[in-house]
Amino acid sequence: MDKQTAQSRIQALHEQLNQYNYEYYVLDNPSVPDSEYDRLMQELIQIEEAFPELKSADSPSQRVGGQVLDAFQKVEHRIPMLSLGNAFNEQDLRDFDRRVKQVVGENVQYTVELKIDGLAVSLRYENGVFVQGATRGDGTTGEDITENLKTIRSIPLRLKKDVTLEVRGEAFMPKKSFEALNEERSKLNEEPFANPRNAAAGSLRQLDPKIAAKRNLDIFVYSIADIGETGVTSHSEGLQLLDELGFKTNKERRLCQSIDEVISLLDEFVQRRPELPYEIDGLVIKVDQLNQQEELGYTAKSPRWAIAYKFPAEEVVTKLVDIELTVGRTGVLTPTAILEPVRVAGTTVKRASLHNEDLIREKDIKIGDTVVIKKAGDIIPEVVNVLVEKRTGDERDFHMPKECPECGSELVRIEGEVALRCVNPKCPAQIREGLIHFVSRNAMNIDGLGERVITQLFNHQLIDDVADLYKLERGQLLNLERMGEKSTDNLLNAIERSKENSLERLIFGLGIRHVGEKAAKTLAEQFETMDRLQQATKEDLVAINEIGEKMADSIVTYFANDEVSEVIQELKDLGLNMAYKGVKREESLSDSYFSGKTIVLTGKYESMSRNEAKAQIEALGGKVTGSVSAKTDLVIAGEAAGSKLTKAQELNIEVWDEARMLQEFQS
């Protein structure tokens, strides 16, 4: 094939593949079998391999995921990506309607759309070609995730007209794909995603587009950023134009003549929510006429012409089939409701903590009851109430046992506490929970060692104490259920890496009563080595500002125990680092900007967790606190920063974005 023939064949394949892709992913109405699409795609890839110079950025072959990136580039949004004010009930919507009418008069139409629960993205097209896609970021600056977005089949790489424009939409993971992904992750011993939104965000934040390509993401485009330049006069016409250009818009939208009509839709969508193939968390209500939108304008954060109606937390009914007791790391017994599995807010729920016996009495919960459950903050399942009228008489009262269900020793109630406790230090449940704590993210942070693997190792008697973790052999791990070669090697590497952790992780991981993460840090900073901490007297300890009597007693008692000394000696012999690797506070009065300042971290950062950012800032001499006040020097706002950011702005406190923080870390 000569170059000219290749060129024209490529052109024809582009058109054919784009059309099939559009029919399949946007219209949901394919005209050819998948095999035909695959055949043409293979042909295209082959020609492009033979003539690499003919491979263009908008080639349909780009959808399989190209080059791995080192980092995402920053993108300044030409038009800021704002968020929406919230309405939680009918009254909030009526207030919104009143505010709108005060400005534009009585004649208002509203478009009502589904509020898709995903991740806002911006897509730029030049002369009809998709050239750049970005995350929202802080609204002003986002990240360039073009390569990942190209893998979303419903995003056109070339529009039906050669226009230049920027559109906004919500990228999301359909419920089915989410379930399949989590199933696969659990097979591979990977932590499942909490909900489809996190899964979508996690997928689009991968530097390797091949991962995003496998995740079956989708998009609904909901607005044209520079709509003023398109000639349309209303938002609903804008949506129509998006359809005509080949975008996928959500067809559930309605044009309403009054706020009453809007309100009459709320129930309908609450009812239909569980049946939709994607997650929604509310409705978005927008003034339809563009000239009215313009008149209404914007506040600092959001348009005055739109509002988000948030659904109340989804509540579902199920049966409470049993109450199980779990013994925690400190011996506290927690009752857990075992539920008939039920879907709520994006995942299947089988258990819900009941916290303690008092709560069971307060809510009058019996085994066999029909109960209403919801997810608090859309994450943590809880029993809301019992449907007493559904009782049949077969329900049973629940009583706390007198003995520990795991080791049989007598339970005690510590004065002033609601909880019952097993005080046997050899209780297997406590040992197992202690091991789970040791490997957890904020302690030794051993990837791939979660509750499930620890429980298996413990049940197979491969580990009895934390030192045993460092003696595990490849063969032993390979014998475990669901452990392949690759996960075994990953796990062994993670265990090995954890040996280098700075001392505070080890101190926290040991699980000394009353010693939390923060105290562990202080102890590591002050004593610098495990030896010195082990030898510390109560006086040495209480001399430190943050350490009280109760904690000091607990630390001294802990290290006086012979078994503890033995385990620590063993850990040393196994090669674990026993020294603090951070910077001492006094020494860090460097020229770092953070030094001596009080800083609040809020929102989600893309390059690191808040905990990691906190550690770095502290190492540079800054103090990180939880709430914004007049004493705060600086707020560092990540994505989806909320009330703390607003407060900072009100108090005129300096606000940085993540990029600025990273810059400071590197300087």
**Active-site residues: which are they?**
115
Q: Find the shortest distance in angstroms from Cβ 223 to ligand IVH.
A: 6
Closer residue to ligand IVH in complex, CB, 297/596: 297
Q: Find the shortest distance in angstroms from Cβ 226 to ligand IVH.
A: 13
- The residue number whose beta carbon is nearest to ligand IVH equals 120
Closer residue to ligand IVH in complex, CB, 13/84: 84
- Say how far apart CA 217 and CA 197 lie, in whole Å: 11
For the chain, the straight-line distance linking the first and the last C-alpha, in angstroms and rounded, comes to 54
Closer residue to ligand IVH in complex, CB, 77/153: 77
- Residues, the chain: 667
Closer residue to ligand IVH in complex, CB, 230/534: 230
Report the b/e string of 559-588 with b at 16+ CB within 10 A. beeeebeebbebbeeeebbbebebeeeeeb
Closer residue to ligand IVH in complex, CB, 137/511: 137
Q: Find the shortest distance in angstroms from Cβ 657 to ligand IVH.
A: 17
SS3 430: helix
Amino acid at 584: K
- Say how far apart CA 604 and CA 608 lie, in whole Å: 9
- Say how far apart CA 29 and CA 471 lie, in whole Å: 57
Element (DSSP H or E) covering residue 97: helix 90-104
Q: Find the shortest distance in angstroms from Cβ 115 to ligand IVH.
A: 4
CA distances from 255 to 99, 136, 296 (A): 19, 27, 19
Q: Find the shortest distance in angstroms from Cβ 640 to ligand IVH.
A: 9
Q: Are 433 and 536 in contact (CB under 8 A)?
A: no
Tokens of 277: 């193939």
Positive or negative, the CA dihedral 97, 101, 104, 107 is positive
Q: Are 304 and 326 in contact (CB under 8 A)?
A: no
- Say how far apart CA 160 and CA 165 lie, in whole Å: 13
Q: Find the shortest distance in angstroms from Cβ 436 to ligand IVH.
A: 36
Chain centroid to CA 364: how far? 34
Tokens of 351: 């258990």
Tokens of 127: 């002369």
Closer residue to ligand IVH in complex, CB, 575/642: 642
CA distances from 210 to 147, 214, 618 (A): 9, 7, 36
Closer residue to ligand IVH in complex, CB, 63/253: 253
Tokens of 536: 């510390």
Q: Find the shortest distance in angstroms from Cβ 153 to ligand IVH.
A: 20
Q: Find the shortest distance in angstroms from Cβ 148 to ligand IVH.
A: 17
Positive or negative, the CA dihedral 147, 148, 149, 154 is positive
For the chain, what is the total number of helices (H) and then of strands (E)?
25, 22
Closer residue to ligand IVH in complex, CB, 346/509: 346
- Say how far apart CA 425 and CA 567 lie, in whole Å: 15
Nearest to 152 by CA among 129, 171, 179: 171
Positive or negative, the CA dihedral 83, 89, 93, 98 is negative
Nearest to 435 by CA among 513, 529, 510: 510
Q: Find the shortest distance in angstroms from Cβ 93 to ligand IVH.
A: 16
Amino acid at 576: L
Nearest to 55 by CA among 123, 1, 3: 3
Closer residue to ligand IVH in complex, CB, 141/522: 141
Q: Find the shortest distance in angstroms from Cβ 648 to ligand IVH.
A: 19
| Chain positions contacting ligand IVH, by CB under 6 A | 82-84, 113, 115-116, 120, 170, 222-223, 284, 302-303, 306, 308
Give alpha helix (H) positions in 105-217. 146-150, 175-187, 196-204, 209-214
Collect all residues with Cβ–Cβ distance below 8 Å to 660 and sequence separation of at least 6: 636
Closer residue to ligand IVH in complex, CB, 122/592: 122
- Count CA within 13 A, CB hemisphere, residue 447: 10
Amino acid at 432: R
- Rounded to 5 degrees, what are φ and ψ at 170? -115, 120
Q: Find the shortest distance in angstroms from Cβ 200 to ligand IVH.
A: 11
Tokens of 165: 């424009």
- Say how far apart CA 341 and CA 520 lie, in whole Å: 39
Closer residue to ligand IVH in complex, CB, 86/537: 86
